[in-house]
Structure 1
Amino acid sequence: MHDVFLTGREPEKRTERNVAPVGIGRSAQERRRRAAENPWPPRWIRWLPPALIGVSMFLDQVTPPYYFFGTLLTASVVLAVLAYTPLGVACTGAAGCLVLALTEAVKDNVGPLTVTTLIVLAVITVLSVALCALRFRIEKRFRRVQTVAEVVQLALLRPLPAQVGPVRMAGFYRAADDEALIGGDLYSVRRTPFGIRVIVGDVRGKGIDTTQTLTTVLSTFREAALLQPTLPQLADRIDTALKLDRDNSDLYPAISGGPPVSASPNGPEDAVTPEDELFVTAILLEFPSHSHEVRILDRGHQPLLLVGSGGTTFVETENSLPLGMGDLLVEQPRTTTRAVRPGDTLIAYSDGVTEARDRAGAFYPLRARLQAHCAGSPQPCFPDEVIDFLQRDLARWAPALTDDVVAIALQPVPPAPDV
């Protein structure tokens, strides 16, 4: 393991593990896996229509002639709509009609009731075939819309690579809305001339309604991170973009999630109420390419955690106002520079992690749980190991998460020595 930190290379046995998608890519992969493991409709439903036809035939044979079980055949056709194709539904209805006619003929009990039941069964079969065809059309359209939505969401919050430049990373993301891949939390990693830059943030509000603000922050960060020489200047650029969104909320009311802002004679700033404010708590990180340190700018976000040989500690930074409130700042926020030793892992996360509650209402003790997990290991924890533990442990602590959750683990890799 010491060779890892001397050479900057991991053992070969970790290669396959590192190519798995992380961040929102991991969420998308897990959702596909759950859908494959729990298909709808369940596979056992496919056996119900023939089972009902068999039961109807059996009961009709072992009971006296005045008992009639032909109505079970109607139920078999209705269930076939959920389990089969339109052709399968038609075959089920035809089989039901044939079984009913044969069993009643064998019992020499063909009468008005049998004829009426056959007519009703035939009509229900025709209607069920049409309904099944409509179901297939709706499902096809839904899958197309779901695929487009997933592509758009993956374009906003792109899957994290296992390593960018000299920084290993891993993360997981879970939206409060189970039907969505993204919510109000955000992250992004960018290779820039100034080093590897990272943002992890939390938009005011939660769920899919925050997508427009999330889009503004991410698109601005990805552009400005390449151009702005310092983290405070980068944050200023995001502040300006959010202010423009806020000032234009009367033209695009969905941006603020509320009603249009009424005009004010004193300017648009006076028309904005606290309910209409757009802000994002965020932490910005910069890992210089050839330096054993990290620069941190905290804009009202959760404190950064450092997991290393000295235990699990919070990184002290100068906390400032969230992004989007830059016009209220009295002075420019200052960047904190922190030395990073080989094996140290930095963890940025949202309040969805620390505010997750168990059944008794207790908050998730992030620092204590990570401390207990990493203290028992004689070797430094890699980012993917920390994230795997955190994801499993958080799910055990709070099975039902009510807020968006993001956690990103980052570990600088010492440069390989010159040979």
Structure 2
Amino acid sequence: MEHRHRDEQHSWPPRWLRWGPPALVVATMVLDQLTPPRYPLGPLLAASVVLSLFTYPPLGVLAVGAAGCLLLTITEMIEDYVGPLTIVSLIVLATVTLLSVWLCVVRQQSESRFRRIQAVAETVQLALLRPLPERFGQLRLSGFYRAADDEALIGGDLYSVRPTPFGLRVIVGDVKGKGISATQTVATVISTFQEAALLHPLLSQVAERIDVALQLDRDNPPMDPTERDRPISRPGRPPAPTDELFATAVLLEFSADARAVRVLDRGHQPLLIIREGNASVVESDHSLPLGMGDLLTEPPRTMTRTLHRGDILIAYSDGITEARDSAGTFYPLRERLQSHCASSPGPVEPTGLVAFLEEDVARWAPTLSDDLVAIVFQLTPAGDD
């Protein structure tokens, strides 16, 4: 499973900026020699020290400031123009240097703290959305996940794959909302699914456990970490529409030989199946999202579908089908998959299909407003056991 994250290939600071402070010092000295003495250029040296604050460590900032003081003194002595203005320039430059060194120390401490917090956050996020196994029994698996926020590894979409005594169980979903509250709901859904999938023989029972967990979060909201001791919604009162917690999801259970899959659809996007190069929708019983189980008049039905050798099953979020191009046209998922299968020179495999889908959606909608997730399963073709 590949998580799309912020671009880390562009290092900071840029190379041109690293050479900026020394170049500014040299340019200042050259200009000082070319201009009359009545035009002092000492303040430009202070600018080079401030610039080095963002590019160098404290010793580097100190070295730039010391070099500026030394060069200023030497040039003024050569010109025999050491006067009150020169003394004032040296005092200002030395003061700016000391302040810049102190600010550089503070900057490094803040960056170090940010990196530690970032590492912890990424570890927690990856613990929720664990990498997919490439293969499980007769099934091949592949997928990709891309958060709409470039600074996050996960957003409001979710997935989890769990081997159980009842077969391989999977959930793919999309929680309501965005930001911290959505991440908390994702954590509730995934952790409850991972436990319930091992204990309950029926998918409907697993869904009921998630329903209860979301209802508990709704009635006893967690604290908002951005504002201490302040709950996301007030306990003791009915939740407003903005306080409702729910998640659309599809739950899957593959049999031991992967020849059959049981599908429980809780308000999610319909599954797609590619069979002999043709992409079609998997019919299922559409029901209310997870977290709204108390509104159901009857238990949702679990549908069983038979898989043939080479069949490819695709579970995805609405971030893919709602991706828009510059003209506002939604991404036609089934048609694009159909076209890809027709133009493929060889058999379509999960890894290649995922790579195509990820690149094709990115070309269709360069700017995304929603998270993306797609999981592809294939019952191994004949002769590939």
Same fold per TM (> 0.5)? yes
**Which residue of 1 is the match for residue 65 of structure 2?**
93
Aligned partner of residue 19 in structure 2, secondary structure? helix
CA shift for structure 1 position 364: 1.3
After superposition, the C-alpha distances for 1:169-204 in whole angstroms (9 at most, x for unaligned) are 111112232222111111000001111111000111
Residues of 2 paired with 1:162 and 1:347: CA distance? 15
CA shift for structure 1 position 168: 1.5
- Are residues 1:348 and 2:322 paired? no
**Which residue of 2 is the match for residue 4 of structure 1?**
none
**Which residue of 2 is the match for residue 275 of structure 1?**
242
CA shift for structure 1 position 380: 2.5
**Which residue of 2 is the match for residue 147 of structure 1?**
119
**Which residue of 2 is the match for residue 171 of structure 1?**
143
Residues of 1 paired with 2:160 and 2:182: CA distance? 16
1:62-141 mapped onto 2 (5 Å cutoff): 62-141=34-113
Question: Partner amino acid for 1:401?
Answer: L
Query: Is the Cα contact below 8 Å between 1:306 and 1:312 reproduced in 2?
Result: yes
Residues of 2 paired with 1:145 and 1:83: CA distance? 22
**Which residue of 1 is the match for residue 329 of structure 2?**
362
**Which residue of 1 is the match for residue 234 of structure 2?**
260
Question: Partner amino acid for 2:234?
Answer: P
After superposition, the C-alpha distances for 1:330-359 in whole angstroms (9 at most, x for unaligned) are 222112222222222111111111111122
CA shift for structure 1 position 164: 2.8
After superposition, the C-alpha distances for 1:313-343 in whole angstroms (9 at most, x for unaligned) are 1111111111111122222211222222222
Query: Is the Cα contact below 8 Å between 1:257 and 1:276 reproduced in 2?
Result: no
Corresponding residue to 1:339 among 289, 306, 309: 306
**Which residue of 2 is the match for residue 293 of structure 1?**
260
**Which residue of 2 is the match for residue 182 of structure 1?**
154
Residues of 1 paired with 2:26 and 2:177: CA distance? 55
Question: Partner amino acid for 2:220?
Answer: N
Runs ≥4 residues deviating over 4 A = 253-258, 414-418
Query: Is the Cα contact below 8 Å between 1:165 and 1:196 reproduced in 2?
Result: no
Query: Is the Cα contact below 8 Å between 2:137 and 2:257 reproduced in 1?
Result: no
- Structure 2 residue runs of 5 or longer lacking an equivalent are none
CA shift for structure 1 position 254: 4.8
Query: Is the Cα contact below 8 Å between 1:253 and 1:260 reproduced in 2?
Result: no
Q: Which moved more, 1:117-126 or 1:204-213?
A: 204-213
**Which residue of 2 is the match for residue 400 of structure 1?**
367
Q: Which moved more, 1:370-379 or 1:45-54?
A: 370-379
Query: Is the Cα contact below 8 Å between 1:198 and 1:284 reproduced in 2?
Result: yes
Query: Is the Cα contact below 8 Å between 2:233 and 2:239 reproduced in 1?
Result: no
CA shift for structure 1 position 284: 0.7
Query: Is the Cα contact below 8 Å between 2:310 and 2:381 reproduced in 1?
Result: no
**Which residue of 2 is the match for residue 217 of structure 1?**
189
- Are residues 1:229 and 2:229 paired? no
CA shift for structure 1 position 245: 2.1
Query: How many pairs does the alignment contain?
Result: 381
**Which residue of 2 is the match for residue 159 of structure 1?**
131
Residues of 1 paired with 2:347 and 2:361: CA distance? 21
Query: Is the Cα contact below 8 Å between 1:287 and 1:294 reproduced in 2?
Result: yes
Aligned partner of residue 160 in structure 1, secondary structure? coil
Query: Is the Cα contact below 8 Å between 2:175 and 2:182 reproduced in 1?
Result: yes
Question: Partner amino acid for 1:64?
Answer: P
CA shift for structure 1 position 369: 1.5
**Which residue of 2 is the match for residue 388 of structure 1?**
355
TM-score of the superposition, structure 1-length normalised? 0.86
- Are residues 1:409 and 2:376 paired? yes
Query: Is the Cα contact below 8 Å between 2:176 and 2:246 reproduced in 1?
Result: yes
Residues of 1 paired with 2:365 and 2:199: CA distance? 41
After superposition, the C-alpha distances for 1:38-66 in whole angstroms (9 at most, x for unaligned) are 12222221100110011111112222333
After superposition, the C-alpha distances for 1:83-116 in whole angstroms (9 at most, x for unaligned) are 1110000000000011111111112222211111
Residues of 2 paired with 1:70 and 1:211: CA distance? 53
After superposition, the C-alpha distances for 1:191-242 in whole angstroms (9 at most, x for unaligned) are 0111111100011112332122211111111111112112112212211222
Q: Which moved more, 1:61-70 or 1:111-120?
A: 61-70
Aligned partner of residue 161 in structure 1, secondary structure? coil
